[in-house]
Amino acid sequence: MIAAGLLLFSLFSSLALGQPTAHDVFHVHEKRSDVPNGFKYVGKAAPNATLDLRIALVQSDPAGLEAALYDVSTPGNKNYRKHLTKAQADAFIAPKPESVQAVTTWLAKNNVTAQTSATGEWMKIRIPVSQANALLDTQFNEYSHDETGLTVLRTMSYSVPASVKGHLDFIYPATAFVAPRPVPAELQIMQSRETSTHGISKRARGNRKSRTTLNAIPAMTTSKPAQATGPVSPDDSCKTKITPACLQAIYNIPPDSALNTSSNIFVASFVGESADPADLKKFLGEFRPDVSQGTTFRVKAVDGGTNNASKATIEASLDVQYTVGVAAGVDTTFVSVGSNNTDGIAGFLDVINDLISQEEPPFVLTTSFGFNEKDVPVGLANNLCNAYAKLGARGTTIIFGSGDGGVAGIQNQNCTTFVPTFPSSCPFVTSVGGTNSFGPEVAVSFSAGGFSNVFARPKYQDDVVPAYLKTLGSTNKGLFNASGRGFPDIAAQAKSFQVVRGGQTISVSGTSAAGPTVAGVVALLNDAVFQDGGQPLGFLNPLLYSSAASALNDITQSNNPGCGTDGFPTSEGWDPVTGLGTPDFAKLLDVVKKSS
């Protein structure tokens, strides 16, 4: 009896201290074989160091979400543009009750308290390393990141008890070695080529206003709409310096300001990027004198982000000035994502989850930052991609610049196989490559593009990608995944954009110039649709790859070199350099109205 009593005391004590009991049967859940390039082992993590971990629960019906997304996004379907409500979209992602119960019970047995997201698919825990080591039967270590000098706490593998297998998807960032910051194209374009850069307020029924809380910056105001003058030929100066007037001429964009107050654009930014309203005022005075210089933008903070106007950066200045400059009259919100997260991609999770939680999400979300796909854990990439699908099913068009390393990914680096970028490789976003010049437009050599190693080819590419691969023949054989999702989807001008920063006009290049340009086009299309009482365009790709393909300017010159190769060549139809081509606003508007 004494021995049995001691055994019971020992078991209860171990539970109270958060230690695994003799009855726990652990199974390895995630494991990696080596530390990735750019990180270096420092030593075992201090037992009292604090870990912020995110637990992703298995989602109940991601396949159903995908089907619903295509149902509301494919022209000809009876539910086309009948977007889901928040409750309808949440139902596909929310974990099953038994999964919530299993994970909650496991944590409670180990004296761990979790914060749970509104729909329950994410739990956040903050615990010391000693408790995390016991909870996950592992050893967390300290690693330094060569480029930034920052240190991270990670493990090479972790295990979970059998009771949560099948309920717990993954724990982040346990084995995830993602760079501590996302990469804007401005950094690598400036480093490798020239002085340049790279890439929800209201939902839409009538004139409903956003319920999102915004910082106290005056609401956007614009002049009265200008009178449309018909197509204008671009000036020769547009071959060396791009302005809003150049984009209007090249892409047949009307100079009129938006008429419906519902249309909006959200611009997501990271790593301390900031934009100055005074710079926007000077930009408009110089390049859009028809628009009131009192026009400004809203600011929304995520993860403690701030907009420090006195320290305006190139990327944020570019994004704000060209969303406002192309889509005059459209409400623009600058989303500043702070560093209050575990690494660069955690901010991507937080901003998308913040927007998903809104009753009225944005109509257009554009982002000019990204990662090399290989650096993002597959579970996390899938989870983020599903979040983009969820937002798209609710009526948001999600746009990402494809990157500026050609087939070498985000950064033009040494590589032995082609490097796809993420989130551009997610099939539920619209990826934008880069072009320059006109008459004809040609691809810019830095336009990132290729094929995903994570996501399979989506059905909307079933015709165009095999056709391209047939023309490609044996070129680049073995260097890419021919069955993967191809990107980009479309393209736009990406060189020599005139941007005002700190009161000075500079020339900026990269696909992060192309992204805001396309975002502006979509926002103006939404404005025209809203005037007719219609619904937002939402997820664009099924439309682009069907009836809208004829409304795009096919780009058939140049290629995107990298990894010691010439990369992919452009071709007639879709190609992994410029996608289906560049927009013609007038033609797209005609297609959009006919497809409603």
In a domain, 270, yes or no: yes
Domain count, the chain: 2
Contact (Cβ atoms closer than 8 angstroms) between residue 420 and residue 373: yes
pLDDT tens for 293-308 read: 899 999 999 988 999 9
Residue 345 annotated as part of some ligand binding site? no
Provide the phi-psi class of 359: left if phi over 0, else alpha when psi is between -120 and 50, else beta: alpha
In a domain, 220, yes or no: no
Residue 575 annotated as part of some ligand binding site? yes
CA–CA separation, 532 vs 58, rounded Å? 41
pLDDT tens for 255-289 read: 988 887 899 999 999 988 999 999 999 999 999 99
In a domain, 311, yes or no: yes
Instruction: pLDDT band for 7, please (50, 70, 90 cuts).
Output: very low
CA–CA separation, 347 vs 273, rounded Å? 13
Question: Which residues form the domain of 266?
Answer: 185-215+257-595
Catalytic-residue membership of 210: no
Q: Are residues 523 and 460 in the same domain?
A: yes
pLDDT tens for 399-422 read: 999 999 999 998 656 799 999 999
Q: Are residues 306 and 276 in the same domain?
A: yes
**CATH number of the domain within which 536 lies:** 3.40.50.200
Catalytic-residue membership of 512: yes
pLDDT tens for 547-582 read: 999 999 999 999 999 999 999 999 999 999 999 999
Closest CA to 334 of 353, 349, 347, 318: 318
Q: Are residues 204 and 105 in the same domain?
A: no
Beta bridge partners of 184: 369
3-state DSSP assignment of residue 370: strand
Q: Are residues 151 and 272 in the same domain?
A: no
In a domain, 228, yes or no: no
Q: Where among 114, 149, 177 does a domain terminate?
A: 177
In a domain, 241, yes or no: no
Q: Are residues 397 and 485 in the same domain?
A: yes
- At residue 338's C-alpha, the angle toward residues 335 and 339, to 5°, is 155
Q: Are residues 566 and 457 in the same domain?
A: yes
In a domain, 326, yes or no: yes
Q: Which residues contact 492 (CB under 8 A, 6 or more apart)?
A: 247, 251, 432, 434, 435, 513, 514, 515, 517, 518, 582, 583
Query: Which pLDDT score, from 0 to 100, does residue 233 have?
Result: 84
Q: Where among 123, 157, 177 does a domain terminate?
A: 177
Q: Are residues 589 and 539 in the same domain?
A: yes
Give residue 402's Cα distance to chain centre: 10
In a domain, 41, yes or no: yes
Residue 573 annotated as part of some ligand binding site? yes
CA atoms within 13 A on the CB side of 521: 31
Query: Which pLDDT score, from 0 to 100, does residue 25 have?
Result: 87
Q: Are residues 473 and 559 in the same domain?
A: yes
Q: Are residues 505 and 453 in the same domain?
A: yes
Beta bridge partners of 456: 484
The pair of structure tokens assigned to 228 is 């449309």
Report how many helices (DSSP H) and strands (DSSP E) the chain contains, helices first. 15, 26
Q: Are residues 404 and 473 in the same domain?
A: yes
Catalytic-residue membership of 279: no
CA–CA separation, 316 vs 311, rounded Å? 11
Q: Where among 115, 150, 177 does a domain terminate?
A: 177
Q: Which residues contact 465 (CB under 8 A, 6 or more apart)?
A: 457, 486, 574
Active-site position among 186, 315, 331, 404: 315
Q: Count the neighbouring beta carbons within 10 Å of the beta carbon of residue 101.
A: 12
Q: Are residues 208 and 130 in the same domain?
A: no
Report which DSSP code applies to 27: E
Active-site position among 90, 319, 343, 584: 319
In a domain, 74, yes or no: no
Q: Are residues 195 and 165 in the same domain?
A: no
Active-site position among 130, 512, 558, 571: 512
3-state DSSP assignment of residue 73: helix
Max Cα separation, the chain?
Answer: 96
Residue 404 annotated as part of some ligand binding site? no
Query: Which pLDDT score, from 0 to 100, does residue 346 have?
Result: 86
Strands 115-116 and 122-128: antiparallel
Instruction: Please state whether the predicted TM-score (pTM) of the whole model is above 0.85.
Output: yes
